[in-house]
Amino acid sequence: MTSHYMADVEALCRRVIVIHHGRILFDGELARLGDRFAAYKTIAVDLADGVADLAPYGDVVARDGDRVTLRVPKPDTARVTARLLAEQQVADLTVEDPPIEDVIELVFAQERIE
């Protein structure tokens, strides 16, 4: 599925049913899908100095100039965010759930494991 299509799904749908080979893998609110299957959140940090190594805070998944994107375990999000703000020169910080297409991939991955 393309990212544009999934953005439309997120904007328009409150409920989602994920079906794979005729089996319902998930039936519920779209917001709960991420809560149930995604074990991480994404933190995007714009650094005022742009030089800090943020690897100790989480998995660095992207760096674009002064912007660093981290993936952190969901239970650690508040603690990591507080540490970043206290220890780094943060110009801006955004916490996001993973993209819905990534969450749906996790749903299918869990299906393969079971």
39-53 pLDDT, tens digit per residue, is 889 999 999 987 788
> What token pair was written down for 54?
């943020």
Q: CA-CA distance, 114 to 98, in Å (whole number)?
A: 23
Domain architecture of the chain: domains with CATH = 1-38+98-114 (no CATH), 39-96 (3.30.70.980)
105 against 58, higher pLDDT: 58
Q: Helix, strand or coil for residue 97?
A: coil
- b or e along 84-111 (b: 16 or more beta carbons within 10 Å of the residue's beta carbon)? beeebebeeeeeebbbbbebbebbeeee
Using CA atoms, how far apart are residues 28 and 4, in angstroms rounded to an integer?
22
Tokens of 95: 């916490």
The pLDDT tens digits of the residues spanning 79-94 come to: 999 999 999 999 999 9
